Structure formats: structure tokens, C-alpha cells
Amino acid sequence: MGKIILVRHGETNMNRDNLYHGILDPTLNETGIKQAEKAYNIIKNISYDKIFSSPLKRAYETATILNYKKLDIEFSDKIKELNFGIFEGLSYEEISHKYLYELKEATKNWKNYNFKTGESPCELQKRSVQFINSLDKDLNYLIVTHWGVICTILSYYFSYNLNAYWKFKIDNCGIVIIEFTKDNFPILAGFNIGGWN
């Protein structure tokens, strides 16, 4: 039985300021570093055979702190955060003033809306699940990624579509563990472990 250990990256200033940032690339702030150090104390008790990270700095910096086995960190664009397109770098209030029509469309058709120059949650789920399905389920993987990626994976395995996408609370450096049986059946073995409150 293999495990997928998913960890959301630590806090950035853009998280703190409630700004949309999918492909923007801020570093961890002081709180984010402390969150990763707290998560390290949990992860060091969990074995992993390989470690993957989103190539974005906030994920890679978190992965570097968590990587107690000092394995080579492998990167995949498939586990980058959702590209918010024209919403990138803006607050909800700014978006509601500048892009009210687009915001209404994103709310009404949230599964397929691609944020103009960005991508949709459906597209995010497709690439995230492709990545997970490419892994050998007999091994244990530590994967440091983003809220959107984790929620699309959970929604796929435990609701078989995107309907549960908004129903998961994953804090910065919260840990999610999915175990796979010999028949490749997914079991949610841990959720938001060590989540920062």
C-alpha cells in the first residue's frame, strides 16, 4: 500500500493580504517558514520514497524544509497552482471593481471558467490527476503543492468530479494523506494534519 502525502506550501505575503496568486511567484514570509518548520516535526515521522514539488518558490522553499531525508526534489508543472489569469495579484474587492462581469462569469460557471488568459478548475484537475495517476502506487510520495491542486485531487478521488472542490479546508502547511490499496482504491488516511490556525 503506497501513500500520497500532500502538503500545502507555507504562507506568503500574498496569502496574508488575500491576493489571488496562482502563477505569481512570491517567497515564504516569516510565518510561512514557521509553518513549514512545524510541519517538519510531523513529516519526519512519515516515510517517503520520493519528494516532488511545484516549481513555484513558495512550494520549493517548503519542500526544502520538509525534506528530512535529503532526497533530490523533483519538480512538475502539473502540480502548480491554478492560473488565475487577469485576476492574478488582485484582491477580491479589486476584481469586483475592475472585472465585475468576469467575476460573475467565474462564479456562475466556476468549473469551466478559465479566468481569461488563465485556466479553469477543470483543467487544473485534469493535469493534477494525470500527475497522480503517473505515480507508482506501491511507493510513498511527499508532494508539496498548492490549495487548488490538493482540492482537485481530493474531489476527484472522493467525489469523482469537481463537486467537492470547495468543501475542503487545507491550511498553509496542512498535510493530507491518501493511501492506495493493492486494488488502487484510495483511502483518506489524514486530513489537514498540523494545519495552522
Q: Is 45 helix (H, G, I), strand (E, B) or coil?
A: coil
Any catalytic annotation for residue 119? no
Q: CA separation (Å) from 173 to 2, 61, 94? A: 21, 12, 27
Q: Please identify which of the residues 9, 11, 21, 146 carries the catalytic annotation.
A: 9
Distance from C-alpha of 74 to C-alpha of 51, rounded to nearest angstrom: 6
Q: Please identify which of the residues 61, 81, 119, 146 carries the catalytic annotation.
A: 81
Any catalytic annotation for residue 9? yes
Radius of gyration of the chain (CA): 16
CA angle at 30 for the pair 24 and 149, rounded to the nearest 5°: 40
Nearest to 124 by CA among 89, 79, 90, 179: 79
Which residues have a catalytic role annotated? 9, 81
